[in-house]
Amino acid sequence: MLPDEPRPPTDHTPRPDGGAGPARCYRHPDQETGIGCSRCGRPICPQCMVSASVGFHCPECVRGAGREVRQATTRFGGQLTADGALVTKALIGINLVVFLLAAYVLKPWLAEDLSLFSVGPQITGYPYGVAAGPDQWYRLLTATFLHVQLWHIGTNMVMLWVIGPSLEAALGRIRFLAVYLLSGLAGSAFAFLVAGGFMNSLGASGALFGLLGATVVMFRRTRTPLGPVVALLVFNLVITFSVAGIDWRAHVGGLVAGALTAVGLMYAPREHRTLVQSLTVAGMAGLVLLMVLVGMARYGA
């Protein structure tokens, strides 16, 4: 045994009270023992022994070791999980359920009630939809889960499955969900800000463009070649501005929000990560609210 290693007590180890004979447990002085903690050397009785890979540990060393072990996290602070794509699967499931209900079961009123519909008083004399006030703002979120055409839900869910799992695995479930929801809300809010006097929009594309923007930031942060994801982004932007009927405002708003949120989440310094990431999410939520309030000033009653 090396000189600097703790020595377990023996029959010749002095007792704490200075008497002769076997050592006594440091927690139970009435118990004599010939066993010591393999980490600190304190004498321990059978009641206090905690089995270890080598010898026994005392309760204090066991608690100390527990405090020293840090919980494993993803690269950007999320909790590691067995299924790194659970939220992605759940989002796909929710979108599919809403699609089936709106397109086949509760047609057409559910789609009318959930879409990003807004008409200002300048058009009809009274506001309707999002422009009518806070009791209709739920449309900013519900519209991001609404599809009524098979090709629309199909292309969006394929895109979500392509880019979602890798981003979720890197960010963790909560941060990934925050990026998705904030991107969708920001896309809706920007669309309302620009065209809320007369508009009707739906689909998860704003949230998906946000995930694309976040993926670009992640590739940049991890020094992954940007070619494939940039090509995918450019392809989708070309379709956005060349195909009639696509709400480019929701796409652009979601893209910018997703990229900005990802910058705050992925470049947060490790020593202040939780604070910076929390402020990033709160700041983006505040920006969404600000866009809605400005839109209300333009199109509300």
Report yes or no on whether pTM surpasses 0.85.
no
| pLDDT the model gives residue 65 | 59
| pLDDT the model gives residue 300 | 81
pLDDT band at residue 67, thresholds of 50, 70 and 90? Answer: low
Q: Are 26 and 16 in contact (CB under 8 A)?
A: yes
pLDDT at 269 over 70: yes
Place of tokens 């023996």: 10
Poorest-pLDDT segment among 20-24, 90-94, 125-129, 290-294: 20-24
- Report the percentage of the chain scoring pLDDT > 90: 68
| pLDDT the model gives residue 46 | 79
Per-residue pLDDT tens for 167-194?
999 999 999 999 999 999 999 999 999 9
| pLDDT the model gives residue 54 | 64
Q: Are 199 and 168 in contact (CB under 8 A)?
A: no
Query: What is the DSSP annotation of 229-266?
Result: HHHHHHHHHHHHHHSTT--HHHHHHHHHHHHHHHHHHH
